[in-house]
Structure 1
């Protein structure tokens, strides 16, 4: 098992409203990156303010860090986090072929959603002062299917799919170590090697998918992810580059 990364803080809370909110509260006092793990959340949230269901034994943590660069650069940490989650799953014994990465910020296990990532930037128009990366993982149980939106992938848990049992505290260590290593790679070599690695594990690459935004829905073949992290679809009307959307298979 990987050791805890040097220079990275860690705090474990029995309960909080949400690790994202706690990370925002403590950000001004921090001198380096810090992970906040909560064993229970009373007001967890997912993308676009959706309620985040947290069955008992689930993993809920946020990393608060100073990313450097602007908002576009900060947003690429979703790919760093996806790869770190994959590496953490491998470290605890999940077969590599069972894990796929779904653009922009989900991790799939045997085709179902086992983990999700949420990014929030803190700062002003002049730049990003802090980045908060929230990560939720269904370790012991998955939310009921009725709690997810229509047409979304079914939620699954690590225990149900693999028989593996691990506590949130134990899962945090390989995740933090993997994130630290990949973040250092990102800082040294940029997004290109991260993008290449992510694409090698991408779910439904080369298949037809639907990208849905608040304004439109686009269906096409998932061709690639570009240098800015946008999904590229080959559609009946030509090539479309979409920076943010919900993807449906």
Structure 2
């Protein structure tokens, strides 16, 4: 398979070691003239959702895309769907296994039903204006976290190597991911969220099945019906249909 060309106008920074690619992106942001990808072989102070520590060995994928968006914050946040779709596209292109990769709301990529990758969006700005958006992506290419360290009820972590036997380098993934993201970014900025929503739902895990959504101290059980035009999770619960803008989802 021939690699797609690197997207025009997008910078590429490959580092051996960094505190975190999102933190490096924030430092780079004021001087950016366009989008930039930052990838590191090793992160010493990485973090996941809700500020949780994130540890990943050399050989796994750790990268951040930093952009200068122009839309309102609630529109900017929909790029998590673009990132998930692009990552799935890149994984399928590198493995030839389209049926193995699914998407979990709000922003995880699954392999054979286990968690392969996570995506973390952080916005930089003042007031209601987003000046820069950092999209951090971590992928278990060669090793997954110890299942004993995962929250009870969360999906089992998996690695690409462990599930498929394929050894994909971080550089190869970056070279597939950058053009894939550029395509979804183009679709998003020219056609809006609709094409992303439709494509995401086509690959959604547990659509039409029972799930549990937890927001703070509130937990809801119901059937995962769809994702609405704002990116919210729509569930049918015992109390009726609810749209949930942010939550942790358990299967």
TM-score by length of 1: 0.98
Alignment match, 2:125: 123
Contact 1:56-1:141 within 8 A present in 2 as well = no
Looking at structure 2, the residues matched to 85 and 108 of structure 1 have their Cα atoms a distance apart, in angstroms, of 10
Correspondences of 1:67-78 after superposition (within 5 Å): 67-78=69-80
Alignment match, 2:161: 159
Alignment match, 2:115: 113
Correspondences of 1:205-224 after superposition (within 5 Å): 205-224=207-226
Structure 1 segments, 4+ long, off by >6 Å, are none
Looking at structure 1, the residues matched to 5 and 168 of structure 2 have their Cα atoms a distance apart, in angstroms, of 16
The superposition leaves residues 123-151 of structure 1 with CA deviations (integer Å, 9 ceiling, x where unpaired) of: 11131010000000000111111222111
Looking at structure 2, the residues matched to 54 and 189 of structure 1 have their Cα atoms a distance apart, in angstroms, of 36
How far is 1:118 from its partner? 0.1
1:177 counterpart = 2:200: no
Contact 1:55-1:143 within 8 A present in 2 as well = no
Identify unmatched segments of 5+ residues in structure 2: none
Contact 2:208-2:224 within 8 A present in 1 as well = yes
Contact 1:79-1:194 within 8 A present in 2 as well = yes
Alignment match, 2:25: 23
Alignment match, 1:5: 7
Contact 1:94-1:162 within 8 A present in 2 as well = no
What's the Cα RMSD here? 0.8
1:66 counterpart = 2:73: no
How far is 1:31 from its partner? 0.4
Alignment match, 1:199: 201
Contact 2:73-2:128 within 8 A present in 1 as well = no
Looking at structure 2, the residues matched to 173 and 189 of structure 1 have their Cα atoms a distance apart, in angstroms, of 25
How far is 1:211 from its partner? 0.3
**SS in structure 1 of the partner of residue 17 of structure 2:** coil
Identify unmatched segments of 5+ residues in structure 1: none
How far is 1:169 from its partner? 1.2
Q: Select the residue among 73, 92, 95 that pairs with 1:93.
A: 95
Alignment match, 2:139: 137
TM-score by length of 2: 0.98
Contact 1:4-1:176 within 8 A present in 2 as well = yes
**SS in structure 2 of the partner of residue 15 of structure 1:** strand
Looking at structure 2, the residues matched to 146 and 41 of structure 1 have their Cα atoms a distance apart, in angstroms, of 22
1:51 counterpart = 2:53: yes
How far is 1:215 from its partner? 2.7
The superposition leaves residues 27-46 of structure 1 with CA deviations (integer Å, 9 ceiling, x where unpaired) of: 00000000000100001100
Which is worse superposed, 30-39 or 66-75? 66-75
**SS in structure 1 of the partner of residue 29 of structure 2:** helix
